[in-house]
Structure 1
Amino acid sequence: MGDRYEDFGVIGAATLRMLAANHEIDLSAEQAARALAPIRSLPPHPDVEPALKQLTDAGYRLVTLTNSSAAGVKAQMENSGLQRYLSDRLSVETVGLFKPHAHVYRWAARQVGESVEDCLLIAAHGWDVAGAAWAGMRTCFLARPGKQLYPLAPPPTLLKADLLEAAQKLIALPR
């Protein structure tokens, strides 16, 4: 915000404090941080692990790209048991910009040694899919319940109900 970078967890805690204040609840920075801590240990959706396994077995290279801190994504992946499927974990804290800024996606492609056009971002966040598309990536939107495409973005390359359906489609494509 305002051309300043702050850790995503710190932003989340500050936002929680603002919401609490709207409801006349006094919430300290420490209380807000503790309230958000369980996010790092949420279980993945049931389709995620089998899809990641299928993709890695098929030779796909998988990388995370997150607005969370490096420590945050490391904890999330270790707690979820998904780290074994990933070749790398990328955090925007390295570039000091948040997704959906197009520079973040181009930076991520360079980090993995690929052209942006040869990368595919899969997400259930319309704004994330939009940013990747604007940067020149191919995209796959997971139309999970309650998730919507960003109406001002180009349509995704693929639109699937969940990650398992997306993985099966990707594996079936000629490579």
Structure 2
Amino acid sequence: MPRHIIFDVNETLLDVAALDPFFERLFGDARTRVEWFLTLEESWLTATVIDRYQPFGELVQGALTMTGRRRGIDVTDAQRQELVEGLKTLPPHADVLQALQSLRDHGLHLTALTNGSLDTAKQQLASAGLTDCFDAIMAVEEVKRYKPAPEPYRMVAERLGITTAEMTMVAAHAWDIAGAASAGCQTAFVARPGKVLNPVGIQPDIKGDDMREVVEKILARQA
């Protein structure tokens, strides 16, 4: 099993459900957070397909405006900015810190790869107390192509001086698993709440109900 482990950030490491109170205040229903995130995913997938990169922060705010319009609610600039700032202080999932430390204790090399901006990712991981767990933090803005396009995964491999076959991508998103596998990576899926694999899509090499289980399986393959 590869010794370079690459982690998606939002939802995989960090708990986006911490934004639920914001969505409850704005829309009267915390479940709109899921709708907003799906709209955000649609936005970056569209940007990638049509080869028209837009900064992540713009897509975050645009997705919130779209969510509001579906409900006849005018979202203000202040509310859009509140969401952007809220993303910077998301807490880690409870199983993350110990899992990352276990990988490092076994001599594995950890990299964070996010569809968000690099500055935001650094703030997020610092706020979550995870910065020291990573050897590198990278963002797709460098290649201006969002995951699951192949360029971000290839960028990581190039920066690390390895091939994609020497990487394992850990993510809670079926599209990230499919993108990484198509780029030649090994993959590991974390079944965060509400996240499922595509039954007719590319399947991961490893899957687990939480990060602890995924890490145990990664380490078992190192033996």
Q: TM-score range by the shorter chain?
A: over 0.9
Deviations 1:56-103 (A, max 9, x none): 010010000110000110010000000001000010000000000012
Q: C-alpha separation between the residues in 2 aligned to 1:172 and 1:128?
A: 23
Deviation at 1:173, TM superposition (A): 2.2
> Superposition pairs for residues 92-107 of structure 1, below 5 Å?
92-107=140-155
The answer to whether the Cα contact below 8 Å between 1:125 and 1:148 also exists between their aligned partners in 2 is: yes
Does structure 2 conserve the Cα–Cα contact (< 8 Å) formed by 1:140 and 1:156? Answer: yes
Query: What letter corresponds to residue 174 of structure 2 in structure 1?
Result: G
Report whether the alignment pairs 1:135 with 2:183. yes
1:113 aligns with 2:161: yes
| Aligned Cα root-mean-square deviation (Å) | 1.4
Letter in 2 for 1:55: L
| Structure 2: 5+ residue stretches without partners | 1-46
Task: Name the SS of the counterpart of 1:139 in structure 2.
Answer: strand
- Say whether the 8 Å CA contact 1:130–1:150 is kept in structure 2: no
- The equivalent residue for 2:24 is none
Aligned residues: 175
- Aligned-pair distance for 1:29? 3.7
User: Runs in 1 of length 4+ with deviation above 6 angstroms?
Assistant: none
- Single out whichever of 27-36 and 114-123 deviates more from structure 2: 27-36
Higher relative contact order (CA 8 A, sep 6+): 2
**What is aligned with 2:59?**
11
User: Does structure 1 residue 33 correspond to structure 2 residue 81?
Assistant: yes
Greater shift after overlay, 30-39 or 70-79? Answer: 30-39
- Specify the code of the residue in structure 1 equivalent to 2:139: S
- 2-side partners of 1:23 and 1:166: how far apart? 38
1:91 aligns with 2:135: no
State the identity as a percent.
37
Code of the residue aligned with 1:103 in structure 2: it is E
Q: In structure 1, what is the Cα distance between the partners aligned to 2:220 and 2:175?
A: 27
SS of aligned partner of 1:63: strand
